[in-house]
Amino acid sequence: MRIGIVGGGQLGRMLALAAHPLGIRCTVLDPRANCCASDVAGLVQSEFDDVAAIERLASESDVVTFEFENVHLDALHTLKDSTLLPPLDALAAAQDRLTEKRLFRSLGIATPEFAAIDSIDALKDAIEPIGIPAVLKTRRMGYDGKGQFVIRDHAQIADAWSSLGGVPLILEGFVPFQRELSIIAARSRDGRIVVYPLTQTTHIDGILAESITPAAGVSDAMISEAHRAVSAVADTLNYVGVLALELFDCGDRLLANEFAPRVHNSGHWSIDGAACSQFENHIRAITGLPLGNTACLRPTAMLNCIGGVPPLEELAAIPNLRVHLYRKNPRPGRKVGHVTLSADSHEALERAIHPVRECIKQSAQH
Ligand SMILES: Nc1ncnc2c1ncn2[C@@H]1O[C@H](COP(=O)(O)OP(=O)(O)O)[C@@H](O)[C@H]1O
Ligand SMILES: [Mg+2]
């Protein structure tokens, strides 16, 4: 069995690493000869929109998947439905924040208030019903908080429009959430769904900084609401593979922010903290294997290394810390690795996390 992965970043790298013990080989397609997944996978070096290269990847693979959602759809049209998993429709739905939010609403999943924005007049009109603060976002290509402008004052409307205008936009109400949560599911070829425990996520400047799994203090009602939401999205898209749904916990209700049609940073804890990781479950799902156990073995924290790699000697000296470095050159705001820490209780985890946070902070650049 061979898998082709469009994209050779850290998600491709961790997918390939999960495939190895199953005896499955991966080839990644990426324009960068030195992409970090190429350490552990074969490489087709090409631009993402090169149809001939995508066809070559497919000819060397039994199934093709992708590790980031801003893949060029046109280039993937060349692949047969059974070859590309998750399916193209799922990718298309996730690429456009407006389509995505309309999909959520059609499934009865609550979202922040939103409006499509194509002109400064539309923006001025939408501000009134949506209210301030509001977030103006590009509908496409955003990630790690890029392509967003938080409007806190009417005087900022022109600035927001001039910094993002020119491409289709969406305006969202700014949600005064208590915290952010994420739920990750895997759906098999025969429609079975397994779900990981809810993860609590903390973002700094729009980038995931830390996560804790299982999220503490979530009611059974919220857990079933999150399960229902992620399962509805997966079923309606006839999804195969791992997907993540990002949620705002508003205390009395959950609002869906966005979904990612791929393995997700909020699921990295699962390599060390779950019986079967999100990466292995993605490999299992797309290759038609039975899905693995999503149980969280112990409360597990994940901390991203952003913009700088902490000295390995220091990380390695911290008891029970698991280190995952991606061999990427540090740049401000760039994810270059993550670490995980597990403990017997959330309280013990909270105590143990402090020195790790300090160590990571020294080298972080946001
Ligand atoms: N409507 C909103 N209200 C409050 N915070 C928001 C809203 N939209 C985004 N954010 C904050 O910005 C982060 C990144 O935005 P998101 O829409 O998830 O885009 P990305 O694709 O960059 O992850 C979110 O995790 C959240 O912290
Ligand atoms: Mg997000």
Q: Whole-angstrom Cα distance, residue 107 to residue 259? A: 14
Please indicate whether residue 178, judged by its CB atom, sits closer than 6 Å to ligand 1.
no
Q: Whole-angstrom Cα distance, residue 78 to residue 65? A: 14
Q: How many domains does the chain have?
A: 3
Please indicate whether residue 112, judged by its CB atom, sits closer than 6 Å to ligand 1.
yes
107 within some domain: no
The one-digit pLDDT tens for each residue of the chain (366 residues) are 999 999 999 999 999 999 999 999 999 999 999 999 999 999 999 999 999 999 999 999 999 999 998 888 988 998 887 899 999 999 999 999 999 999 999 999 999 999 999 999 999 999 999 999 999 999 999 888 899 999 999 999 999 999 998 899 999 999 999 999 999 999 999 999 999 999 999 999 999 999 999 999 999 999 999 999 999 999 999 999 999 999 999 999 999 999 999 999 999 999 999 999 999 999 999 999 999 999 999 999 999 999 999 999 999 999 999 999 999 999 999 999 999 999 999 999 999 999 999 999 998 987
The answer on 253 and 217 residing in a single domain is yes
CATH number of domain containing 59: 3.40.50.20
Pair 187, 240: CB distance under 8 Å: yes
Give the predicted TM-score (pTM) of the model. 0.97
What spacing in Å lies between the alpha carbon of 194 and ligand 2's midpoint? 22
Pocket test residue of 175, 246, 257 for ligand 1, highest count of atoms within 8 A of CB: 257
What spacing in Å lies between the alpha carbon of 67 and ligand 2's midpoint? 15
Pocket test residue of 113, 136, 148 for ligand 1, highest count of atoms within 8 A of CB: 148
The answer on 190 and 169 residing in a single domain is no
Burial of 154 (0-12, 13-18, 19+ CB in 10 A): exposed
CATH number of domain containing 283: 3.30.470.20
Give the domain range for residue 342. 179-363
158 within some domain: yes
Please indicate whether residue 138, judged by its CB atom, sits closer than 6 Å to ligand 1.
no
216 within some domain: yes
The answer on 326 and 268 residing in a single domain is yes
Q: What is the pLDDT of residue 72?
A: 87
Q: What is the pLDDT of residue 166?
A: 87
Cα Rg of the chain (Å, integer): 20
Give the nearest ligand 1 atom to 135 CA. Answer: 1
What spacing in Å lies between the alpha carbon of 137 and ligand 1's midpoint? 9
Q: What is the pLDDT of residue 70?
A: 81
228 within some domain: yes
The answer on 124 and 260 residing in a single domain is no
The answer on 189 and 139 residing in a single domain is no
204 within some domain: yes
Strands (E), the chain: 2-6, 25-30, 42-45, 63-66, 114-117, 134-138, 148-151, 169-173, 179-187, 193-195, 199-204, 207-213, 241-249, 254-260, 300-306, 321-325, 335-342
- Look at residues 43, 251, 343 and name the one whose alpha carbon lies nearest to residue 356: 343
The answer on 233 and 276 residing in a single domain is yes
219 within some domain: yes
118 within some domain: yes
Which of these three, 84, 99, 123, is where a domain ends? Answer: 84
The answer on 229 and 124 residing in a single domain is no
| Residues, beta carbon < 5 Å, ion ligand 2 | 246
What spacing in Å lies between the alpha carbon of 145 and ligand 1's midpoint? 6
The answer on 297 and 271 residing in a single domain is yes
Q: What is the pLDDT of residue 80?
A: 82
Partners of residue 186 on adjacent β-strands:
194, 242
The answer on 36 and 149 residing in a single domain is no
What spacing in Å lies between the alpha carbon of 149 and ligand 1's midpoint? 10
163 within some domain: yes
Please indicate whether residue 172, judged by its CB atom, sits closer than 6 Å to ligand 1.
yes
The answer on 168 and 192 residing in a single domain is no
The answer on 232 and 143 residing in a single domain is no
The answer on 293 and 259 residing in a single domain is yes
